[in-house]
Amino acid sequence: MTDIQKLLSAREERDSIKKQLLELGTILISLNLNIPGIPKSNQLLTSFFIIVRDQLKNWLLANRIFIDDSKEINTNHAAGDYYIVPIKNKDFSSVQVKQITEQFEESHPLCRFIDVDVVGESGENISSGKSKICFFCREHPAIECRRAERHTIFEIRKYQEEKIAEYLEKNRLDEICRKVANMASQAIYYEISLTPKPGLVDKDSSGVHTDMDYRTFIDSTVIISSYFGELVNAGYHCKTDNLPNALPLIRQIGLQMEKEMFEHTNGVNTQKGLIFLMGVSLFASGFILKKNNSFNQTIFRETVLKICENMVQVELQNANDVVKSHGEQCFNQFKVAGIRWEAENGFPSVFEHALPIILDKNSTDGNSLILTLLSIMSQLDDTNVLYRSNSNTLNLLKEKCKMVLDNYSFDKYREILEFCKAEKISPGGSADLLSITVFIYLMIKNFP
């Protein structure tokens, strides 16, 4: 069979499908792409077709047009990708259905590549009566350009495939930003809701804090999460060579998040450290997912290492300016670089201690999260603890956590709670790294 014969036979097949469905006596809606020349389909066009088909189904449902899924037909043959479905409604005329599908076509960014046809109960094609403008030159009616063969099939196909590739890329980016941002929020809510926690704010208690409670953390999380997608997007667009210069890009967004956090918490610092850690993590995730469909923890760690290279030296050892944060004060007093050290070393507490535990438990339930938190507390030089106490107390806390981890029971965990309460200490840095661990765990699970 020649290509033309294949095309004609595919069109006949479409007609016979349509005829069969018409016997149901309901309105039919069909979708195909407006592709000149052959082949009528390829991997790119099919990916685009599937997205448009699902968008069309969603639009119909949003307009209370109920399709009969059990009778829908999807084909992909010489005539291209094709979808046809009868509708169940008796309360819409075929003209009304046509108006609704036209709204769909017209509002689509690539509307000229899409053809939605409506066939009435008696088999008549419902036409909009509007003449479409040529999508290539945007000057003449499409039908005129076609008849006069104003443009070559090659140039039209090239234009179409470029536009479709751009659209698919944007669609993929939007989905990645949404999905990754959601996981970061999920991880933070799991951490703040974990109850009871030593010295920290949890659902039932403000721990050793007097200026914040569970609601303060909810307020602050809602504010900062609205920036998560932007951070993923920034990482997605970062070129490999620019990775060592990424920190100011992350900080630029982070500073805005911080400003809004303070506005919404009446000046209380709930999540400044987390903004930094999650900022780097979201940026690194966007960077990785541009090239890979799956999330690889080794590549993630390497990416964090590149972003945060020499951070302690540049920001703490060479800092001559006015000392501000708790972390900076602790560095001056105890020579402990806290989360900057963690970031510069690619989150060793997370990758070497916490992540193996949560992956082994394969769960984000309370028990798994308590063990994961303890594993971080047993390793981390938490500047939030140091700031309120001293090196001896921090070392004692780390030792106690190690012992509890070796032979865990809830009663032993309770001793850690009591110790933090008595010493008035709150391991905020460990809590932040718990959020990061849960985030990475969710990324591994959701981008396999």
Considering only the stretches 137-145, 296-304, 319-327, 425-433, report the one whose residues sit in contact with Zn ion under the rule CB under 5 A: 137-145
Give 136 or 217: the residue with its C-beta nearer to Zn ion. 136
Nearest distance, CB of residue 111 and Zn ion, angstroms = 15
CA distance 196 to 338: 24
Considering only the stretches 9-17, 107-115, 128-136, 267-275, report the one whose residues sit in contact with Zn ion under the rule CB under 5 A: 128-136
For Zn ion, the binding residue among 50, 95, 137, 222 (CB under 5 A) is 137
Considering only the stretches 133-141, 178-186, 306-314, 400-408, report the one whose residues sit in contact with Zn ion under the rule CB under 5 A: 133-141
Give 150 or 361: the residue with its C-beta nearer to Zn ion. 150
List Cβ neighbours of 311 (8 Å cut-off, separation of 6 or more). Answer: 247, 340, 343, 344
Question: Which x/- pattern over 85-124 shows residues binding Zn ion (rule: CB under 5 A)?
Answer: ----------------------------------------
CA distance 425 to 428: 9
Give 108 or 140: the residue with its C-beta nearer to Zn ion. 140
For Zn ion, the binding residue among 28, 31, 118, 134 (CB under 5 A) is 134
Number of chain residues interacting with Zn ion (CB under 5 A): 4
User: Taking each helix axis from N to C terminus, what angle separates 272-291 and 228-236, rounded to the nearest 10 degrees?
Assistant: 40
CA angle (63 as vertex; 62, 69 as ends), nearest 5: 75
Nearest distance, CB of residue 163 and Zn ion, angstroms = 15
Give 66 or 159: the residue with its C-beta nearer to Zn ion. 159
Nearest distance, CB of residue 130 and Zn ion, angstroms = 16
CB atoms within 10 A of CB 135: 17
Nearest distance, CB of residue 115 and Zn ion, angstroms = 17
Q: Are 188 and 221 in contact (CB under 8 A)?
A: yes
Give 135 or 334: the residue with its C-beta nearer to Zn ion. 135
List Cβ neighbours of 207 (8 Å cut-off, separation of 6 or more). Answer: 197, 198, 199, 200, 201, 420, 421, 426
CB atoms within 10 A of CB 243: 20
Nearest distance, CB of residue 159 and Zn ion, angstroms = 11
Give 130 or 291: the residue with its C-beta nearer to Zn ion. 130
- Burial, 139: exposed, middle or buried (Cβ in 10 Å; 0-12, 13-18, 19+)? exposed
Give 140 or 402: the residue with its C-beta nearer to Zn ion. 140
Q: Where are the beta strands (DSSP E) in 190-271?
A: none
The number of residues in the chain equals 448
**Strand 80-86 versus strand 73-77 pairing type:** antiparallel
Binding to Zn ion in span 140-169, by CB under 5 A: 145
Nearest distance, CB of residue 33 and Zn ion, angstroms = 18
Closest CA to 233 of 163, 278, 318, 175: 175
CA distance 110 to 22: 29
Q: Are 87 and 27 in contact (CB under 8 A)?
A: yes
Rule CB under 5 A: say whether 4 interacts with Zn ion.
Answer: no
Considering only the stretches 138-146, 307-315, 409-417, 431-439, report the one whose residues sit in contact with Zn ion under the rule CB under 5 A: 138-146
Q: Which residues bind Zn ion (CB under 5 A)?
A: 134, 136-137, 145
